[in-house]
Chains A and B, each alone.
Chain A
Amino acid sequence: MMIVNIGPQHPSTHGVMHFRLHLDGEIIRRVDPEVGYLHRSIEKISERRLYEQVPVYCDRVDYTCAMTAVLGYVLSVESLFEKYELEVPPRAWYIRVIVTELQRLANHLLWLGTFALELGSFTGYMYAFREREKILDLFESVAGERITINYPCIGGFQQDLPEGWVELCRKILSEYPRYLDEIEDLLTLNPILIARCKGIGVLNRQTAIAYGITGPNLRATGVKFDLRREEPWGPYPELDFDIPTREEGDVYARYLVRLAETRQSCRIVLQCLDKLPEGPVLAKLPLKKRDISSEFLKERGIDAHIRTGIPRRLCPSPNETYRRMEGPRGEYGVFIISDGSDKPYRVRYRDNSFSSMSAIGAISKGHKLADFIAIFASLDIVAPGLDR
């Protein structure tokens, strides 16, 4: 039995991850993932920041799909309040859906490019990233950032979409299916891809559910479950889209499911762009006046009757919440415990990379070393969601 290390520095790992493979010739007998190279203690940091200051850290929880990562936290905080206290305006809900689905598109293109690259197709990588660039340019014009985007905020958005953004978005997305057909021509019926992916890394339904895997990985095993339909938020119930599923559960099925999902995302965004209502994009937040106590001021030698600026902050009443949403990787949810103060008591980010990583030993046992790369690439695991 030979032990081979993959990583932590390796061009094929999506981020910094370390695997110890126990090999018997070329067959994998055991996989020991070692994680924690990208652990930045975001959960601990979030406990020492105000509710409004945490979203800056949230986009680093999963930097490949930052919009949905921030939105997951924002939806959780908003669920701590009652409906009448915090009502997000309709235009903000539609923009949230647009931004989520664009992020899903960008993430799946990133996944597609790196998946193709790891199997040896540099052209596939370039084609996918060419499309992704257009979406990142859209994000840059709306939020100022391409990757670690901090655009959604509690209550909506701080800034509306810039002028001409809707037309540009529409133009890019109406051309997208043609470019996706081009990528599919290159990859989908490619005999090399099929030989390396069909029948490899089969994940059956019971194993996927038992390991807590969600998202496209689960839909490729035949479970037609999508949180956009089960626990919808915003205008999702009125939008018309399909949920692609496959039965086989192998690497090829996961590839096909993700490609089909990008087409659906395109469809959703075009519907939202047509239905986008006018109006404000930021809700009136239920801020509480925080009076500075007189002892505090006396200690610092400030006259007690002089108010030197009353901070008004978001202080949800003591509550516990877990609001999950369908991120590009699967279930993304933030568990927040609030204690009545202006800082969260406990924040826990639930990401699907963690669950997929815990299952990789079970999926890749008995396969060859070269197949491990294909399996690992198809599961769409990224290090930030894994370690936080």
Chain B
Amino acid sequence: MSEVIRQALLDRFPGVTFYEKAIGLVAVVPSDNFRDIAEFCRDDERLACDFLHNYAAADFPPDRMEVFVMLYSYRHGHKFTLKTSVDRAEPKLHSLSAVWPAADWYEREMFDLFGIVFAGHPDLRRLFCPDYWVGYPLRKDYQDLRIVPLPEVMSE
């Protein structure tokens, strides 16, 4: 199953690398043709990923943020993850909301909490935080004066 996915992606986009962890198969793709690869995953016969079931980001200071797109195919019953890295100073990606409408709100959430700007998104505004909020809460260096530091615990 993962062989089919690997072959299908490598045939069309030779620069994709793969690794396998507890999450399953992860395809590491460059962020430039992120949207083309996503569309290929949806339209190609061997992949046929019609279900975007999770779309999350993680902050890895000081240089990058990683975005995970978890896809599943109802037709073939296989799932895998697309992973891409964005530059942390100016995080930009192309939006996937035209490929899967589910991506719409996930991207708004990532813009709200991480500050990743999705080009081509129909309505990119904050989702959870109010409109006047400054800063991106889920980043590792987010400072908020209202957060009280935890008392020191006996650990490293």
Contacts and interface: CB of A to CB of B under 8 A. Distances in A.
B154 A350 contact: no
Contact of B100 (A39, A210, A319, A322): A210
B150 A48 contact: yes
Contact of B105 (A223, A345, A357): A357
A212 B128 contact: no
A358 B154 CA distance: 44
Contacts of A36: 126-130
B101 A211 contact: yes
A1 B150 CA distance: 51
B25 to A, nearest CB: 12
Contact of B128 (A39, A79, A331): A39
Contacts of A350: 53-54, 56
Contacts of A211: 101-102
Given A39-B128, A210-B102, A354-B105, A333 B22 contact: no
A319 B22 contact: yes
B70 A358 contact: no
B74 interface: yes
B29 interface: no
A223 B154 contact: no
A299 to B, nearest CB: 11
B21 interface: yes
B22 A321 contact: yes
A25 interface: no
Interface residues of B, number: 35
A320 interface: yes
Q: How large is the interface on A (under 10, 10 to 19, 20 to 34, 35 or more residues)?
A: 35 or more
A96 B129 CA distance: 35
A331 B74 CA distance: 14
Q: Which of B22, B50, B128, B137 lies at the interface centre, i.e. has the most chain A CB atoms within 10 A of its CB? A: B22
Interface stretch (A7-15, A55-63, A186-194, A288-296): A288-296
Contacts, number: 93
B87 interface: no
A223 B77 CA distance: 13
Given A44-B137, A293-B156, A345 B22 contact: no
B128 A35 contact: yes
Contacts of A79: 22
A79 B104 CA distance: 29
Contacts of A223: 74
A292 B154 contact: yes
Contacts of B127: 35-36
B74 A39 contact: no
A303 B50 CA distance: 61
Nearest to B153: A311
A214 interface: yes
A335 interface: yes
Contacts of A290: 155-156
B51 interface: yes
Contacts of A41: 137
What secondary structure prevails in chain B residues at the interface with A?
Answer: loop
Interface string A349-388: 0100011011100100000000000000000000000010
Interface string A2-20: 0000000000000000000
Interface centre among B50, B81, B102, B130 (most CB of A within 10 A): B102
B1 to A, nearest CB: 13
Nearest to A33: B105
A80 interface: yes
Nearest to A339: B60
B154 A212 contact: no
B10 interface: no
B26 interface: yes
Given A35-B127, A212-B102, A335 B22 contact: no
Nearest to B58: A346
Interface in A278-313: 290, 292-293, 296, 308-309, 311
A209 B156 contact: no
Interface string B105-126: 1100000000000000000001
A99 B156 CA distance: 37
13 contacts: A35-B128, A79-B22, A210-B50, A211-B101, A212-B102, A225-B74, A292-B154, A292-B156, A296-B154, A309-B154, A331-B53, A337-B58, A350-B54
Interface of B: 21-24, 26, 50-54, 56, 58-59, 68, 70, 74, 77, 81, 100-102, 104-106, 126-130, 137-138, 150, 154-156
Given A321-B21, A387-B128, 9 more contacts: A209-B50, A211-B102, A212-B102, A214-B53, A296-B154, A311-B155, A346-B58, A354-B105, A355-B102
In the A-B complex, the 10 residue pairs with the closest CB atoms: A212-B102, A36-B128, A321-B22, A358-B105, A39-B128, A346-B58, A348-B56, A350-B54, A320-B23, A322-B23
